[in-house]
A = this chain, B = another copy of it.
């Protein structure tokens, strides 16, 4: 079976992958030969991107460049075997690297052995958290991160990352500062810019942008076969690494012009590492680890789902947590730091034709060959080139489009975007996202605390009752019928009481009040208490309360707790029309 786009759609056996903890078992056992070309090509292109990116992101995290490469070997193999996505490219990513840096920089000096140890502990904690979340099926927890909060967070984090790389691009030494202080510091010290460094970095940025936007079209016009376009355009980071290294080496720019270079990168496979057993330290790192686990998973699952749906494949939320958790434990064991699925490399992996986890494993093998044989050539690699790679990678994350869209649609969502964005810049990435989540929840509760309320009347001679403000309907002086368009719970129970009492105060001749529950999905204990109070208050005022069209499960509870007995069974009606018939203002 295949759908209209020619991709095979899920058979029963394939969808069973969702129910196994080793999806690779299925595709390894009967690996279709036609998968191979796509997997090899995708594995190769991703490796070409990942070598410079891995080193660049490690530097962003305050770690030696080889750590980025170490984090791109075992974790990728583990994910390739366990992941339910066939195209997700796992490894170091910009935002997780930033979170690592902000989480551990206060606890150890950048570049020290203790700093590296902390990164390994973080990989352990993130791995354990994600595994546990996957095992106890807590994947749904990430739903608490709303889309505007995530977009606001990502946009601000991209700015923080971009600014953090400016020092490498300009060749200025800078202290660790908060965003706004760093911005001021940078403008004040602009004059100290190292021209040669800026030329290398700026040139790198221009080449990257040209490869990204201009080259593809040109290659097509030159008649280059389409299958070569992607490998060529995506080799941009490799191209500037080679060019930059050659220039520094050939012209001795490191000594003559003071260009900062990567320096010694140890050769050979990563060492086996184990985290420090220091519970106090683990506790200190826990908040950072939680944020990395959530944000990393959220970014990863979003990419994985969107790519999978294009081919009518499925990813399992909890299986993804298990796979990412195991990948992070792999990073912990091999001198790496926290990893997750990255947006840009996954898209490339997908477009290059990755068909299974084998692509990921091929990438890992190529990175392993790189750390064994190629590290000496990175000696003269200028740091400004790595900074250029990071800056161009994160520039696309500043999400003005989502903000505009959200602003147009809904001001409360736009507010949570803005609060998150500003909080990340002003209070740091971790506090910022927590504040964003808090604000999104408060806004949601605030919204449902003042629900839409419609007084309804009868439409013509029908059994339909509609809002008196929107329709020409029939009403009666002694009856008020009200539809509350929200579940009743603590945040709106006072509103309910005030609304009902206000309505009967405005209409003194009322002696029947009908509460219509078509949009009431539940009633919590606070609202139940309010209903009890209201029942008494209405009774004291000589007004009879009626309930109409209360949903089955809601009514079951009201019955079980005795509210219906207090009210009187005869005042509970299946529909608004039934209520009106019982009151006697209309005949059946």
Q: How far is the CB of A78 from chain B (nearest CB, A)?
A: 25
Q: Pick the contact of A521 from B485, B524, B541 — CB < 8 Å?
A: B485
A478 within 8 A of B: no
Q: Which of A209-217, A218-226, A406-414 sits within the interface?
A: A406-414
Please state if A551 and B485 are interface contacts (CB–CB under 8 Å).
yes
Please state if B494 and A540 are interface contacts (CB–CB under 8 Å).
no
A431 within 8 A of B: no
A449 within 8 A of B: yes
Please state if B524 and A413 are interface contacts (CB–CB under 8 Å).
yes
In chain A, positions 249-290 with a C-beta closer than 8 Å to chain B are none
In chain A, positions 518-547 with a C-beta closer than 8 Å to chain B are 518-519, 521-522, 524-526, 528-529, 533, 536-537, 540-542
Q: How large is the interface on A (under 10, 10 to 19, 20 to 34, 35 or more residues)?
A: 35 or more
Q: How far is the CA of A519 from the CA of B445 in the complex (A)?
A: 17
Q: Pick the contact of A489 from B5, B444, B485 — CB < 8 Å?
A: B444
B residues near A49, Cβ cutoff 8 Å: none
A189 within 8 A of B: no
In chain A, positions 456-491 with a C-beta closer than 8 Å to chain B are 470, 485-487, 489-491
Known: A144-B490, A525-B406, A526-B148. A505 touches B444 (CB 8 A): no
A233 within 8 A of B: no
Known: A143-B493, A441-B441, A557-B410. A310 touches B522 (CB 8 A): no
In chain A, positions 228-260 with a C-beta closer than 8 Å to chain B are none
B residues near A3, Cβ cutoff 8 Å: 540-542
Please state if A146 and B449 are interface contacts (CB–CB under 8 Å).
no
Please state if B525 and A410 are interface contacts (CB–CB under 8 Å).
yes
Please state if B449 and A148 are interface contacts (CB–CB under 8 Å).
no
Q: Pick the contact of A494 from B140, B441, B552 — CB < 8 Å?
A: B140
Q: How far is the CB of A549 from chain B (nearest CB, A)?
A: 10
A175 within 8 A of B: no
Please state if B140 and A526 are interface contacts (CB–CB under 8 Å).
no
Mind listing 24 A-B residue pairs with CB under 8 Å? A3-B540, A5-B540, A15-B505, A140-B450, A140-B495, A143-B491, A143-B492, A143-B494, A143-B495, A146-B489, A147-B526, A148-B525, A309-B537, A310-B540, A312-B540, A405-B561, A408-B560, A408-B561, A409-B525, A413-B526, A440-B490, A485-B551, A486-B487, A519-B521
